[in-house]
Structure 1
Amino acid sequence: MSTMSDDPSQGAIMGLTELMVQGAIAPTDIAQVFQGTTTATNAVLEARGARAGMITNEGFCDVLHIGRPQRPDHYSIMQEIPWQNRPLIKRRYRKSVLGRLLPPTDEELEPLDEAAIRQAACELKADGVEAVAIYFLFSHPNLVHENRTRAIVAKEIPDAFVTTSSDTSPQFREFERFTTAALATFVGPKVGSYVKSLDAAFKDQKISGDLRIMASYGGVVTHRMVTRTSH
Structure 2
Amino acid sequence: MTNTTAAPAPDRQAAPAPVPSPDFRDLPRLIALMTGAEKHAPAAHSTLDALWVLYDRVLRVTPDTVDDPGRDRFLLSKGHGPMAYYAVLAAHGFFDKALLPGFGSYDSPLGHHPDRLLVPGAEIGSGSLGHGLPLAVGTVLGLRAQGLTDPRVWVLIGDAELDEGSNHEAIAHAGPAGLEQLHTLVIDNASATHGWPGGIASRFASAGWDAVTVDGRDHEALYEAFTTPHPGRPLAVVARVEPKN
Q: TM-score, normalised by structure 1?
A: 0.31
Higher RCO, 1 or 2 (CA under 8 Å, sep at least 6)?
1
Higher strand share: 1
Higher helix share: 1
Q: TM-score, normalised by structure 2?
A: 0.30
Q: Compare CA radii of gyration and give the structure with the larger one.
A: 2
